[in-house]
Amino acid sequence: MKSFYTILRYEIFALFISPSTYVAAFYFLSLLAIGFRFFIETFSNTDWLLPPLSSLVVGLLFGSPALIPFITMRCFAEERRLGTLETLFSAPVSSWTLVLGKWFGCFVFFLIISTLALCYPLLLIIMFPEQGSNLGFNEIENWIGSTLYLLIFGATFIAIGVFSSSITKNQMVAGMLTFTLLTAYLSIMVFSFGNQTSNTYYTISQKLSDGLFGTYINGLDKFGQFSVGLIDLSTILNQLVLTIFFLILSTIQIERLNN
């Protein structure tokens, strides 16, 4: 457990001293701010049904292929290039701890950027309370639902990035692979948007099995519920399983490297 914290701290530190993450975060947040501003101004003319806050989450998620590679590409690819994995394992550290620590470090960085992004509506409601509440930025359940949705998908995406980074020595390749995988995942979700077959479950076990395996591609459908504060457990479970799956894959990959 202690080595987990050490690795976590080291990973966050490494992210903070690397200029590429700053540049990426800066551009990402700026673009998001411009998009958000534009969206808020034209909101009354769009046929967007969900609360306006959701636009930010959608922006963050669909923009993530441009952000997450910059956060995760370094984590294992750089260690592999320099050969420092061997030094790491000469200390009493397990590969699972290492993967988990690195994943969580990247996740914390993602959280920081998300928090900064979520400051836009927060600032809006503080500075212009009236317009803010008109847009529904003061409804706490929207905040909880949207944030949770963002967190669980962010966790999965970061895990995908960590995995991509573990299979190559080249940061660029790791970044491209992350980009491709995330884009593919998002596209599948978009294409399957709206054709959810049935929403009625008869038994708990059916619901559970569906939660574990069934609805990965329908994540976007669930967004409507999350954005108004209706939390769907099966989606959370889905993403959790997917996250753990990719983390286990990374661990296996790292262990394989050692022999």
Partner 1 sequence: MSAENKPLPIIEVVNLKKSFGRIQALKGVSFSIGKGEIVGFLGPNGAGKSTTLRILSGLIPADAGEAKVCGVDLAQEEGLVRNHIGYLPENNPLPEDLRVIEYLRFRALLKGLEGSRLKERIKVVLDICDLERKISERKIGNLSKGYRQRVGIADSLLAEPRLVILDEPTIGLDPHQSAVTRKMMERLRGEVSFLLSSHILSEVEACCDRMIILSHGQIVAEGSLYELQKRFVNKTIFQIDASGNKIDIQKRIRSIDRTCELIQDDPVEVSGKRRYNFSTEQGEQIAERIIRTLLEEKNIRISGFQIRRPDLETIFLRATKKNWEKHDFLNRNKI
Chain center to CA of 236: 13
Rounded Cα–Cα distance for residues 29 and 120 (Å): 10
In whole angstroms, how close is the CB of 19 to partner 1 at the nearest point?
10
- Could you tell me which of 100, 111, 47, 112 has the C-alpha nearest to residue 76? 100
- Could you tell me which of 76, 68, 122, 128 has the C-alpha nearest to residue 98? 76
Using the minimum distance from each CB to partner 1, give the nearer residue, 76 or 246. 76
Using the minimum distance from each CB to partner 1, give the nearer residue, 95 or 142. 95
Rounded Cα–Cα distance for residues 198 and 183 (Å): 26
Backbone angles phi, psi at 59, to 5 degrees: -60, -45
In whole angstroms, how close is the CB of 78 to partner 1 at the nearest point?
8
Backbone angles phi, psi at 25, to 5 degrees: -65, -40
Using the minimum distance from each CB to partner 1, give the nearer residue, 48 or 89. 89
In whole angstroms, how close is the CB of 4 to partner 1 at the nearest point?
11
Rounded Cα–Cα distance for residues 252 and 107 (Å): 20
Using the minimum distance from each CB to partner 1, give the nearer residue, 80 or 222. 80
Using the minimum distance from each CB to partner 1, give the nearer residue, 106 or 242. 106
In whole angstroms, how close is the CB of 88 to partner 1 at the nearest point?
8
In whole angstroms, how close is the CB of 94 to partner 1 at the nearest point?
7
Whole-Å CA distances, 237 to 10, 151, 231, 245: 29, 13, 11, 12
Rounded Cα–Cα distance for residues 117 and 31 (Å): 10
Q: Is 255 exposed, middle or buried (0-12, 13-18, 19+ CB in 10 A)?
A: middle
In whole angstroms, how close is the CB of 18 to partner 1 at the nearest point?
7
Using the minimum distance from each CB to partner 1, give the nearer residue, 15 or 186. 15
Binding site for partner 1 (CB under 8 A): 2-3, 6-7, 10, 13-14, 17-18, 78-79, 82-84, 86-94, 258-259
Using the minimum distance from each CB to partner 1, give the nearer residue, 92 or 194. 92
In whole angstroms, how close is the CB of 100 to partner 1 at the nearest point?
14
Backbone angles phi, psi at 92, to 5 degrees: -70, 80
In three state form, how does the secondary structure of 23-65 look?
HHHHHHHHHHHHHHHHHHHHHHHCCCCCCCHHHHHHHHHHHHH
